[in-house]
Structure 1
Amino acid sequence: MNKTLIFDFGDVFINLDKEGAMNHALDIFKLKTLSEELIAFNSLYEQGLISTEEFIEFYLENFPDLDEDDVLYAWNCILKDFPEHRLDFIKNLAKENTYNLILLSNTNELHIDWIKERVSFYEDFKNCFHKFYLSHEIQLRKPDASIYNFVLKENKLNPGDCLFIDDTIENIEAAAKLGIHTWNINPKTEDISNLFTIKKEFF
């Protein structure tokens, strides 16, 4: 397998409501914007450097009018549906066994637990990949260069033989700086199942 496809998870396979989740969080937290402290704390949790218990406790201490259910809903309401045609797409790729398939996602423990409970085919999906990297398990997070270098080194990959698909421009730019081919997918107008049409120059 000469070429490697590296996929993000959210808004590539599972749909997200980033805007709606942010608006809900600002509403229940009674904030106009998320503070740098909250953003940094969330990032630490996403890297697995803070436990789920510590994460929930932090929010309950800082927002005493809320209970645990409020915090969990605010955190998880970003997660939406996982269209099955995208599962079919990655299953077919895995069956063909033409490419090295890697998932690389900024995903925390609460989100992956929510997905495991509600996406009945999660294990089938996970098993399609040769490697399945979640930020909280490897304690690295996009767009830091260290996470891309980790994937390249662990899998003995040439950046020029890799295509990385992500919906976040900062993550794409960081990968491109290392010589990785990229596709900044637009979840509103593009679908991962059209990969071979949209990025045909890579193949």
Structure 2
Amino acid sequence: MIKNIIFDFGDVFLDLDKTATIRELERLEAKELSEEILENNRKYEKGLITSEEIIDCYCSTFPRLSKEDFTSSWNAMLLRFPEHRLRFLQQLAKEGKYKLILLSNTNDIHIEWVKQNIPFFEEFRKSFDAFYLSQEINLRKPDHSIYEFVLKQHNLNPEETLFIDDTPENTAAAAELNIHTWNIDPAKEDVVDLFRVKKEMF
């Protein structure tokens, strides 16, 4: 029986267009991202480099790219947070049947956009028993260490835990640790339908 639910953020609660950032960068002639840049992206998600450093990395590699252009392109993937998902989460929190944890790969520029553009972000955050952003804990999915961190931090039994994420690599890694998973398809599924889609787990 599931006692703990770990949620991703993007494309679970917050709608994304994951190709938008690359499209915008290419439109601004910032193309062919090197392995060094991609590695810096991963470091940025883990909070190992600052926003200023990631901006400098891109703008020095692509001199025609301004700081404002970069930030706008970087945030282009972030779309909307339908409020019915907040209400679903708040009802779960009110019922108190499950430990609710958020586990998201993200970065400071994205979170600043969320804070400025999602008026109920603090209500959302407070609905969880724990709220983990990769940049704050220096770990990122799909590394096993991030799941092990959450399990240990809250003394969770993986067989009583469900992890919901839209990225197959992330749910596959969690499943290797015996965590139940829902690899949600944001084009066809909505997290509010959890108990209908995964009724066999509850």
| TM-score, length-scaled by structure 1 | 0.96
Q: CA RMSD in A?
A: 1.2
**CA contact 1:47–1:139 (8 Å) conserved in 2:** yes
**CA contact 2:45–2:134 (8 Å) conserved in 1:** yes
Name the SS of the counterpart of 2:181 in structure 1. Answer: strand
Percent of paired sites with the same residue:
54
Partner of 1:180 in structure 2? 179
- Structural mapping, 1:35-184, within 5 Å: 35-184=34-183
Partner of 1:8 in structure 2? 8
Structure 2: segments with no counterpart, 5+ residues? none
Structure 1: segments with no counterpart, 5+ residues? none
Name the SS of the counterpart of 1:104 in structure 2. Answer: strand
> Offset at 1:2?
6.4
**CA contact 2:6–2:101 (8 Å) conserved in 1:** yes
**CA contact 1:26–1:34 (8 Å) conserved in 2:** no
Deviations 1:70-113 (A, max 9, x none): 01011111100000000000000000011000000001011011
The separation in 2 between residues aligned to 1:183 and 1:88, in whole angstroms, is 20
Greater displacement, 19-28 / 83-92: 19-28
Aligned length: 202
For 1:114, give the aligned amino acid: W
The separation in 2 between residues aligned to 1:135 and 1:191, in whole angstroms, is 23
**CA contact 2:103–2:132 (8 Å) conserved in 1:** yes
For 1:64, give the aligned amino acid: P
